[in-house]
Copies of this chain bind each other. A is one copy, B any other.
């Protein structure tokens, strides 16, 4: 059965790979999004299964619902339980020099999945996409892809299990053959329906969705998977990428491939408040991995939207509104200690803790995270990047 957007008369939010906006600048309604996209909620029983199958505590992003939706993730676990491995596929459009914390989330989570399930991983850098959408030159897009690869590698991926590639530099017959196979199954009308292209868009844009689709198929990487073309694929990504993979899943069985499974995250909120993704055009809307300790302190203190009350008296009396408070949201992503987080929420919500104290703790957590990233990235040389991008087999583990 074809997966598609449900018609929705009161469709008051727009979520696609290029735009995330809620009604009246409010919050994204993720329940509605699950319903509209037709994906499944990632419920507690699945999280318990992950815990049991991997023998590890589930990642913070699972425990706290950052990754909240999926498509057929249960089938990946069913097969894994029967002894069948899978591979992970994630990616990034390298549109900017340095990454912000929101960019790190899928990679941090993917690293956890790789370690927990001991599976190979392909990471696609869609420099072609960014060249086409952002009007960057081919050379500049490739340069950004390599710079971003360093930040990605700094997340700690296992080189023996990880292949990183740029579309421009990897393009090859096996990949192109699958692109054509996918493209044959998608009409122009269909692509316009899914992605909202118009006649004024250039043909590069409407040519691109198959390029993001085909890493879902192991036959796109014959060198990598040694022709294990029946290997399952799990894609961790933010839910704005769902349209690409709805299309991919629709096409897959028609060209003799398995549908990839998905595990999808909500968006990391901007410092100014939770109304979509952060904006690259406003450096004060996000914490970047290149920010200094002083930058982080200033940004959090100055811009992080507070749910605290307007006076200390009122705050002591009414407590903070945790639903809109950005420091609490950020701690939910990055403070690993469940007990401490619960304590802060309780104290802050009851007005016994002030915004300044919560921000102070967040500044500590983020400064440590960013500093750890900085050190890891500094150790990534051009030779390391070449090694991750080398065309090779990932010769292990498929038994």
- A: residues with CB less than 8 A from B are 128, 131-132, 135, 138, 167-173, 175-177, 180-181, 183-189, 191-192, 197-204, 206-207, 209-210
Contacts and interface: CB of A to CB of B under 8 A. Distances in A.
Contacts of A199: 187-189, 192
6 contacts: A138-B180, A183-B203, A186-B202, A187-B201, A188-B199, A203-B210
Contacts of A167: 176
B203 A186 contact: yes
Contact of A173 (B135, B168, B188): B168
Given A189-B199, A202-B185, A169 B180 contact: no
Nearest to A181: B138
A101 to B, nearest CB: 30
Contacts of A168: 173, 176-177, 180
Contacts of A201: 187-188
A233 to B, nearest CB: 20
A128 B187 contact: no
A199, A202, A209: most-surrounded residue (chain B CB, <10 A): A202
Given A189-B199, A203-B206, A207-B207, A176 B171 contact: yes
Contacts of A186: 202-204
B171 A188 contact: no
Contacts of A198: 188
The 6 closest A-B pairs by CB, nearest first: A183-B204, A207-B207, A189-B199, A171-B176, A188-B199, A184-B204
Given A201-B188, A202-B188, A173 B183 contact: no
A169, A185, A207: most-surrounded residue (chain B CB, <10 A): A207
A212 to B, nearest CB: 13
Nearest to A132: B184
A199 B138 CA distance: 29
A266 B138 CA distance: 38
